[in-house]
Amino acid sequence: MTLILGCDEAGRGPVIGPLVMCGVVVEEDALAKLIEIGVKDSKLLTERKREALFESIKHIVKAYKLIIVEPAEIDEAVNSKTTNLNNLEAIKTALILNELKPDVAIVDCPSNNIPAYTEYLQHLLTVKMKLTLEHNAEKHVQVAAASILAKVTRDRIIEDLKTKYGDMGSGYPSDPKTKAFLLQNAKKYPEIFRKSWATYKNLAQQSLKDY
């Protein structure tokens, strides 16, 4: 039976919290089961529906792998002269693909240059597979399943952070609540912020002036 993998991420853009990457590998004849339970792009589902699907997906797929990329590691990649966020995502994707060893893999591509990104990722693989990278790959149910596991995992992490640090809003730079939280807490809780983000740099400077 052909093993088919989907890979996606959640939390690429926020200024607070980790990036979560996920790969799921499923036997080809089980794809219909994912469709049957209502799996689709996590962005098209309510939080309640995503939570309801989370355990069901894990029971249907043959295997899955989640990788949590903390803000410090993101900052290191973004600030590096030799790598960037796309390269970091490729490295984590390769870890997932090399561990799950599918026959076929479909990956949601973060880069505008799909051929170059595909070549970069291919060089990181230690196992042979048919590899396809696409934009908006969540239209494939296996990628959608990965997007749900990644999104739910990140949302739970953010809720834990809110319990510990206070209400930080969505964590996205455009959120006024997130901006206000950053202004108040840039110095107090530096470990939860992506300091390489322009939003952090601008608001943190303003915040630090107040001390």
**Does residue 116 share a domain with residue 29?**
yes
* 4 vs 53: CA distance, rounded Å: 19
Shared domain for 132 and 181, answered yes or no, is: no
* Residue 110 shares a structural domain with residue 84: yes
Q: Are the C-beta atoms of 149 and 57 separated by less than 8 Å?
A: yes
Query: If pLDDT is split at 50, 70 and 90, which confidence band does 203 have?
Result: confident
Between CA 177 and CA 62 the distance in angstroms is 40
Are 174 and 157 part of one and the same domain? no
Residue 50 CB contacts under 8 Å (≥ 6 apart), including other chains: 42, 148, 151, 152, 155
The Cα–Cα gap between 145 and 94 comes to 18
CB 53 within 8 A of CB 39: yes
Q: Summarize pLDDT for 51-75 with one digit per residue, the tens.
A: 999 999 999 999 999 999 999 999 9
Tell me the sheet residues that pair with 108: 134
Domain count, the chain: 2
pLDDT digits (tens, 9 = 90+) for 19-40: 999 999 999 999 999 999 999 9
Task: List CB contacts of 115: < 8 A, sequence separation 6 or more.
Answer: none
Write out the residue range of the structural domain in which residue 38 sits: 3-162
58 and 19 in a common domain: yes
Gap between the Cα atoms of 193 and 71, Å rounded: 6
pTM of the model: 0.94
Question: Domain containing 203 — which CATH number?
Answer: 1.10.10.460
Same-domain status, 118 and 21: yes
Instruction: Clarify whether residues 35 and 106 are in a common domain.
Output: yes
Indicate whether 88 and 188 sit together in one domain: no
On whether both 152 and 188 belong to a single domain, the answer is: no
